[in-house]
Homo-oligomer: A and B are copies of this chain.
Amino acid sequence: MNDTGSLDHLIEALRRLPGVGVKSAARMAFHLLQHDREGARVLAQALDAAVDRMGHCKLCHTFTEDEVCATCRDPRRDPGLLCVVETPADQAAVERTAAFRGRYFVLMGRISPLDGVGPNEIGVHQLLTRATDGLVHEVVMATNFTAEGEVTAHLLGTALRERGLKVTRLARGVPAGSELEYVDLSTIAHALVDRR
């Protein structure tokens, strides 16, 4: 009696996307089938092409179609500075500031013991190899200021310092444009300690 098998499979497959529950998945499937069948084809092709072509940069670990990504190949970048971020999205955020002209290492995750993600899962060995290439003299830890990001920065920073590297962390403080009255206490406390 099942005459909607391929629709059910599509809803099931859409649920594998992060943040998509059964109702959103059904809404997406209905939308594609009713209003945007071409979009469904385009998405199917884009998924296959991305899985076929995207690999990881052998230097910085971010997504790239080449062996070494465009950022790592850029000769104008300072080879002595290495910025460690959690994700390509974080890297893009740092890039947008135009305030950093060094290289990157993208962890593609964060240490999170509760999820079974330890140092090995986020490529600590690749990072140590990368940072001890003889050119890098400072590693800027730009992991998130969440519990997991702080633990990641602490553990990786310790390992890097043991290898004689200078390790710094993004400054904590009051965000630009904010009024003190509305800034949370822990941020103000950190800004006081790190005052300059």
By a beta-carbon cutoff of 8 Å, the part of chain A in contact with chain B is: 1-7, 9-10, 12-14, 16-19, 23-24, 26-34, 36-37, 39-54, 63-66, 69-70, 87-89, 108-109
Contact = CB atoms under 8 A, between A and B. Distances in A.
B108 A70 contact: no
Contacts of A30: 63, 87-89
A13 B39 contact: yes
Given A28-B17, A33-B51, A36-B16, A46 B3 contact: no
Given A27-B89, A63-B7, A66-B3, A50 B54 contact: no
Which applies to chain A's interface (DSSP): helix, strand, loop or mixed? helix
Contacts of A13: 39, 42-43, 45-47
Contact of A108 (B12, B34, B108): B34
